[in-house]
Structure 1
């Protein structure tokens, strides 16, 4: 999508996003790209959104969603790696907000996929979105998360998000709930090889981020913290790629 004009991006997004007057300022959001490596092949977890949803109906997406202010007040067993924490806190994002963004990726992965990332131990919080962690004795951990990309939804959408894409490995999951998560946004979960995921029915920005991740894994299979971060946003009428 790098270098596409506003009209080209609008055409690419027309089947995924409701176009029209929307918020001028995008809301913070986070997405978790959960990875699993088996027999030398890396797979990624995607879920299909219900066809009745107004936002990206029927598309395969990563678990994720808007950051909740309460996420900033949830205790963790381990924090972010300092290098990734620094990159998430760049610009106008405070360290507290960066932590909340990372935690929202973990919360959304539980709510949408029934996967609890953290450490098995006693855990207490009164925040409603984290009751599953309390019930299953999992303290959320940020230490395994890696910051891999950022993208801001272009103007002219009913919903706009400033999304940070984080990655983690399946072995970071402490509990997998057989019945899935409490939310009903995803009707199908699938582990796909990255090449297959790129060809699946995914939004254009998801395909772009998958391509970025494929290239990073080829050069950096362990996802070492602190790597350069691709950042996509609209600048002077073109959707451009910067590096953070």
Structure 2
């Protein structure tokens, strides 16, 4: 059995006093890619935010562990230092901070110049982060940002949304390349990927799929089989 990287037990999450997630259990092993399906408003993005520690989401019950260490009481920066990186669905623009500045601060300038062309970002070094980026450029940058941050656990919030078909392939290839490359400490990476359209499954090597409905994970299994069932029958047949 693969070493457990992410362990979630009995997780309840609320935002501004409103319950969103209830009794969520999830385990991801070293080197595994898990995908999370679900209708809009089912709590998928809330789960990623809770793992990353983003406000206004508050863990009201249960626990989140990274490599066996409980992290649900840690600040965002502490979780990042322990090896969690997130590619956001709608990241902010950061005027005044260039891609080159960002990579140098992380000590990853060599990665910037070696890998940027793979995501059609070779001329982005002097651009300010997400300022004037198209929707597709934002998504490609969010994936490339993880190359620079070098996390062990990768969280992707709908990496294919707003990306044309040509660049979905590039995004998928980049995710696969990240997964095949150990981090600087020599540790295998793991990933949790939210997908609404399912298109990303054509381009990534996923191990396990999960379906979230109304704040619960109601089904887990082989990713492609789950998605084909959703396409054919919708989410109504996904209850356990």
The TM-score by the shorter chain falls in which range? under 0.3
TM-score (norm 2): 0.22
Bigger helix fraction: 2
TM-score (norm 1): 0.22
